[in-house]
Chain A
């Protein structure tokens, strides 16, 4: 079983690398894979490229979206798997915890009203700060009202509706140009992010993932219920709050740069659970790499399906994720889900 789990993680990593190179070959101008590979090696080693034009297309135009897809897919999936395990709820993900809706509201404030929490910092900071509000409310409830995992997720859903309603209210009074920008942001897209922005997401995701992986044994125990986990030595309330803060930061960072990309955080952990089981020590990295792969596939489809128009990746994740999820539920419901 261990070999199968490690093999799956390895296969996901290889798939991400291969697909990453392939994705850089595809676009309005097709570039051979060996040229793409050379450009990447040149960029890593800081060498003078043989063809500066192709180098610019691969490294400056295509790679940021590819790296953003991989990093954001990883971050969303890690947040999803951690939320599902610690709240013992298969529906927990950055969306149902209100993080995405909070970010959407913050972005809408900046785009429509022009209200920026940090002047000049625009949509990203607004989205980031507002996406933390649901988590802060949940933390407050946990601390002072002893909220159970079920109360936490219900609170997240309530805040999701609240933020969505407020965003829609702003959209009603928005002019068509702002409305279009907000709408595009709400669907989620990996285009337009720079390598620097992808690097910020990468750093936050790596730090968050290391902590979540370190706590994977505790997440396994939390799956047994609070009483059992405590009697096996886990300070459940404290660990849950810390984990919630960490994964909220990861998800909030991702969402603030890309907009609301649905389904990756929810679907990736469930798909991987159906293949390698529920042990979080393997499930966490496997879900991360699978989420990265899934978002990159979605990006590739979004780029090519309606060429020359590039669709927002959020449309594709929902189109691919929905039917795949349904298929898995029908096929594996008895084995994997209660």
Chain B
């Protein structure tokens, strides 16, 4: 992971704003479920400030589900989701992909593909049938940003889970999105890369003035980097605000059923989980 300098800055330029553009993601009374089982009910949430927003919550609470409703990977049972003021149900997948990039947690491919080829796929929503010079420059910049130079001729199926996650993030970056969604992008990364990725995403959201939404599990990593935290529980949003407002011992106890002590250092809450022994 490197800072944005030289050719890499190609991907770090502030987003092109158009007149009347409304950068936002909004859920309006949205519910989602499979058959009779409801996962999310009556979600009302608006994200309109550029920055890094982290979604936290226990397993199975619907963190990934809620983000997949934004780009129509899942369709809500009721209510609406708006992207830049437009109801996503009226938008084509291509229109959504021109605004929003989704970085999955993992990916498996059957046929061989080099790292640059896999990243180049992210240019599809913005590129034509053939590959332009700019597409190649943007891919090179993403490879540099994610520190993937040494794997650049490697087949992606031979990469470790952590290296694959960096390739997937790079693919999201070359989409040059205004809204970037990441589903647990640091789950397979070591501590150093977790911090690097989080620092980069925070700076990326700030410098490009875009919305970055990230599903994550680590409370302390979230507390250190998130501009806004949404804590989910019981089919909905339990708490929403800054890390200091959301990550309290009481909220952690109520949501995760775990005792914790929270201290604040330099304005950043630090969560110390208190283990239980039989």
Contact = CB atoms under 8 A, between A and B. Distances in A.
A binds B: yes
A133 interface: no
A145 B24 CA distance: 35
Interface in B99-146: 100-102, 104, 107-113, 117-118, 121-122, 124-125, 129-130
B112 A221 contact: no
B97 A89 contact: no
B97 A225 contact: no
A231 B101 contact: yes
B94 interface: yes
Contacts of B92: 233, 235
A22 B73 CA distance: 54
Nearest to B118: A224
A314 to B, nearest CB: 27
A193 interface: no
Contacts of A281: 129-130
Given A231-B97, A233-B93, A225 B71 contact: no
Given A233-B97, A235-B92, A336 B102 contact: no
B206 interface: no
Contacts of B130: 281
B213 to A, nearest CB: 13
Chain A interface category by residue count: 20 to 34
A234 interface: yes
B157 interface: yes
A88 B110 contact: yes
Contacts of B155: 335
Contacts of B96: 233
A336 B129 CA distance: 24
A159 B175 CA distance: 41
B93 A221 contact: no
Nearest to B101: A231
A146 interface: no
Interface centre among A88, A228, A337 (most CB of B within 10 A): A228
Given A231-B71, A233-B93, A233-B96, A220 B121 contact: yes
Interface stretch (A41-49, A271-279, A288-296): A271-279
Contacts of B121: 220-221, 224, 228, 232
A154 B236 CA distance: 39
Contacts, number: 85
Contacts of A34: none
Contacts of B93: 230-231, 233-235
Interface in A249-291: 273, 277-279, 281
Interface in A74-108: 84-85, 88-90
A306 interface: no
Contacts of A88: 109-111
A232 B97 contact: yes
A52 interface: no
Contacts of B72: 230
A217 interface: yes
A228 B108 CA distance: 10
A89 B111 CA distance: 9
Interface string A190-230: 00000000000000000000000000010011011101101
A129 B72 CA distance: 37
Contact of B111 (A217, A223, A227, A234): A223
B105 to A, nearest CB: 10
B112 A277 contact: yes
A223 B111 CA distance: 7
B194 interface: no
30 contacts: A84-B111, A90-B111, A217-B129, A221-B121, A221-B124, A223-B109, A224-B109, A224-B118, A224-B121, A225-B108, A227-B104, A228-B121, A230-B93, A231-B71, A231-B73, A231-B93, A231-B100, A231-B101, A231-B104, A232-B97, A234-B93, A235-B92, A235-B93, A273-B111, A273-B112, A277-B112, A277-B117, A278-B111, A336-B111, A338-B157
Interface of B: 71-73, 92-98, 100-102, 104, 107-113, 117-118, 121-122, 124-125, 129-130, 155, 157, 175
Given A231-B102, A233-B94, A278-B112, 5 more contacts: A223-B109, A223-B110, A233-B92, A335-B112, A338-B111
